[in-house]
A and B are shown apart, each in its own frame.
Chain A
Amino acid sequence: MSRARGTLVGATVLAAATVALDLLAHPHGDTWWHHTPGFDLLFGFAGCAVIVVVSKALGKAALQRPERPAANSGDAADSEDLAT
């Protein structure tokens, strides 16, 4: 079995185990997602994906710009030194 496949199998087993734990556990809380087994697994996966996609999109749209070469050695233009 190749390394990637082995990892995938291992991950699935672990995931199943945690969901099983969920079935054993006594849920705490009133909301519907507290009582859904495996909810956190899906939430973790989907949430992570959403974060990455949304952040990247925001970055491309507004927040990112190429590194300024001067940024590595020092920003004289940003200096608060008003002596000169």
Chain B
Amino acid sequence: MLALLGADRPLAAVLVSLAAAALIRLVGRWPTVRETCTFGAGIVKLGLVLSMLPTVMDGGVIESARLTLVPGVTLHLRADPLGMLFALVASTLWLVTSVYSVGYMRAGRYPNQTGYFASFALCVSATIGLAFAANLLTFFLFFELLTLATYPLVAHNRTPEARAGSRTYLVYTLTAGQALLLAIVWAHSLVPGGEFRPGGMLPADVPSSTVWGLFGLFLLGVGVKIAIMPLHGWLPAAMVAPTPVSALLHAVAVVKAGAFGILRVVGYVFGVDVLRDVGADTLLAGLATTTIVFASLRALKETHLKRRLAYSTVAQLSYIVLGAAVGSVAALAGAMFHIAAHGFMKITLFLCAGAIHTESHRDDIRQFAGIGRQMPITMGAFAIAAAGLAGMPLLPGFISKWNIGLGAMSTGSWVFVVVLVGSGLLNVSYFFPIVYDAFFRAPHGTVSPERASLTMPLAATALVALLLGIAPNIGVGFYRLAWSAATSVVGGDAGGLP
């Protein structure tokens, strides 16, 4: 069995945190041992994922063994460029969030930490499984597992609001799951096996009504997780969770899983040309644009920091949907790169929000006057990440926007470039008053000194964001992975980038 695991790295990567979850439950009584399990599993998982990187970078894929439950129903994992991108983002950020969680949970003296860390591990296991899913059924399995694994995390505080919020979350996501199942079954009837194929898996003779119907169901199924309006209602409600959970939901796992799902659906189920032929790309683009505008405007009205960040996530991830809708190589590459870029920047913001909450017990941005002087590292990282999301050059948000914009321009849809630019302005409107208040107003009230267990992770993610902006291929080569995946999907036609 162990020999099998060693040879089958995608499966091993998934199972590592599954095993960790069980282990954590067993050693829960000893916090240090328990935390070691979390970190250990995180490092092993990251190591496994990284070990697969060279092959994928060279253009290969790593297949894992197929598990046939019933003839025609197989579970299959495969590491390809897009999956690799997502898995790397997820495993790296899991490690960061784990470090942060330890500090946060202990500082806040939260109860039920064992259950928390076990669910955490389960959640990331599901995310990696999702990343490496090679066919629709495996994708669905891990998609639903993700929902179930995150439910206890959202409801962690067990207050009435937590219960209500987590129930809302379940209602949205499980209902969507049913739509997704329908879509998958239908797809299976058209394509036995339902294997993801770059450029689309559907046969050429599928009538456009089928395409529309299938696409609609997929959109419903996956769109809830990515919080496309009007399916976004669960996201602000889910802010009742502890901050590391929100970070996980927004930067690492859930919403990103939705984004990843959209990219898989557009690029590997239907194919960009099929969608363009039936006009579904216009619908997607319209939904994305509406979401960007509405969510950004909505964010202006929220004074609770985490809710403001939630709406910002909704808007930002619609960039990914927009890139997928535009469908040229550059746009897709930008959208895929944005998974990594947004991941690092958004997680920084959430970790900052948690640090602010821990040290000052303030959640409302109207109380943040002068907090930059009292928590300089935290607010410094916040400012960097906020500028990055607004598209300031030298940060990775600019690179994704640039590619999506160039991709849009090359297909003649310059209006989307205007949307991207305009949303950058809106980003500034809802983030920079916070930055101004923090640094340029007089401080008030007591704020505990910043503690290293919280500032180190957020400084690290901010630094990575900065490095990714200047050298997007630094380290693991996210930018190259994105372009590799995008090129394989669109099949080689240049997106207009000189």
B164 within 8 A of A: no
**How many Å lie between the Cα of A22 and that of B434 in the bound state?**
63
- State whether B430 touches A82 (Cβ < 8 A): yes
B228 CB to closest chain A CB (Å) equals 24
Instruction: Collect the chain A residues with CB atoms within 8 Å of residue B433's CB.
Output: 80-83
Instruction: Collect the chain B residues with CB atoms within 8 Å of residue A82's CB.
Output: 300, 429-430, 433
B303 within 8 A of A: yes
A36 CB to closest chain B CB (Å) equals 54
A84 within 8 A of B: yes
Instruction: Collect the chain A residues with CB atoms within 8 Å of residue B436's CB.
Output: 81
B366 within 8 A of A: yes
Instruction: Collect the chain A residues with CB atoms within 8 Å of residue B429's CB.
Output: 80, 82
B390 CB to closest chain A CB (Å) equals 14
B483 CB to closest chain A CB (Å) equals 37
**How many Å lie between the Cα of A84 and that of B429 in the bound state?**
12
Within 8 A of B (CB), among A60-84: 80-84
Query: C-beta contact mask, B426-439 vs A, less than 8 Å → 1, else 0?
Result: 00011001101000
Count of chain A residues with Cβ under 8 Å from any Cβ of B?
Answer: 5
B165 CB to closest chain A CB (Å) equals 24
Query: C-beta contact mask, B292-303 vs A, less than 8 Å → 1, else 0?
Result: 000000001001
Chain A binding site: helix, strand, loop or mixed by DSSP?
A: loop
- State whether A84 touches B366 (Cβ < 8 A): yes
A28 CB to closest chain B CB (Å) equals 48
B365 within 8 A of A: yes
Instruction: Collect the chain B residues with CB atoms within 8 Å of residue A83's CB.
Output: 300, 303, 365-366, 430, 433-434
Residue of A nearest to B300 (CB): A82
A43 CB to closest chain B CB (Å) equals 47
B396 CB to closest chain A CB (Å) equals 26
**How many Å lie between the Cα of A81 and that of B429 in the bound state?**
7
Query: C-beta contact mask, A47-58 vs B, less than 8 Å → 1, else 0?
Result: 000000000000
Instruction: Collect the chain B residues with CB atoms within 8 Å of residue A81's CB.
Output: 433, 436
**How many Å lie between the Cα of A37 and that of B429 in the bound state?**
60
Instruction: Collect the chain A residues with CB atoms within 8 Å of residue B300's CB.
Output: 82-83
Residue of A nearest to B308 (CB): A83
Query: C-beta contact mask, B364-406 vs A, less than 8 Å → 1, else 0?
Result: 0110000000000000000000000000000000000000000
Using CB atoms and an 8 Å cutoff, list the residues of chain B in contact with chain A. 300, 303, 365-366, 429-430, 433-434, 436
17 contacts between A and B (CB under 8 A): A80-B429, A80-B433, A81-B433, A81-B436, A82-B300, A82-B429, A82-B430, A82-B433, A83-B300, A83-B303, A83-B365, A83-B366, A83-B430, A83-B433, A83-B434, A84-B303, A84-B366
> Given contacts A82-B429, A83-B433, could you give 15 more A-B pairs where the C-beta distance is less than 8 Å?
A80-B429, A80-B433, A81-B433, A81-B436, A82-B300, A82-B430, A82-B433, A83-B300, A83-B303, A83-B365, A83-B366, A83-B430, A83-B434, A84-B303, A84-B366
